[in-house]
Chain A
Amino acid sequence: MMLKGRAWKYGDNVDTDVIIPARYLNVSTAKELAVHCMEDIDPDFAASVKDGDIIVAGENFGCGSSREHAPLAIKGSGVSCIIASSYARIFYRNAINIGVPILESPDAVRDAQFGHEIEVQIEEGMIRNLTLGKTYRTTPYPRFMLEIIGAGGLVPYTVARIKGRRRV
Chain B
Amino acid sequence: MGQTLAEMILSAHTDGPVRAGDFADVRVDVVLANDVTAPIAIREFDKLGVERVFDRDRIVLVPDHFAPNKDIKSAAQCALMRNFARAQEISHYFEVGKMGIEHVLLPEQGLVLPGDVVVGADSHTCTYGALGAFSTGMGSTDIAVAMATGATWMRVPETVRFVYTGSLQPWVGGKDLILYTIGNIGVSGALYKAMEFSGPTIDALSMAGRFTMANMAIEAGAKAGLFPFDDATRAYVNERASRRYTAYYVDDDAEYAATIEIDASAIEPQVAFPYLPENACPVSEAGDIPIDQVVIGSCTNGRVEDLRVAAKILHGRKIHQRVRCIVLPGSQQVYLNALREGLIEDFIIAGAAVSTPTCGPCLGGHMGVLAAGERAVSTTNRNFRGRMGHPESEVYLTGPAVAAASAIAGRIVAPQEVL
Contacts and interface: CB of A to CB of B under 8 A. Distances in A.
Chain B interface size, as a band, is 35 or more
Interface residues of A, number: 41
Nearest to A41: B385
A86 B71 CA distance: 36
B65 A25 contact: yes
A47 interface: no
A60 interface: yes
Interface string B393-410: 000000000000000000
Given A66-B137, A90-B139, A28 B385 contact: no
B73 A67 contact: no
B37 interface: yes
Interface in B98-152: 120-123, 125, 137-142, 144-145, 148-149
Contact of A22 (B39, B122, B192, B363): B363
Nearest to A95: B139
Given A59-B188, A86-B188, A40 B385 contact: yes
A64 B192 CA distance: 13
Given A86-B188, A162-B50, A68 B37 contact: yes
Interface string A6-35: 000000010101100111011110000000
A64 B384 contact: yes
A72 B43 CA distance: 13
Given A23-B389, A68-B40, 17 more contacts: A17-B382, A22-B364, A26-B77, A66-B125, A67-B37, A68-B140, A86-B191, A88-B188, A89-B221, A93-B138, A155-B44, A155-B48, A155-B141, A155-B144, A155-B145, A158-B48, A162-B149
Interface of A: 13, 15, 17-18, 21-23, 25-28, 40-41, 59-60, 63-69, 71-72, 86, 88-90, 93-94, 97-98, 142, 144, 153-155, 158-159, 162-163
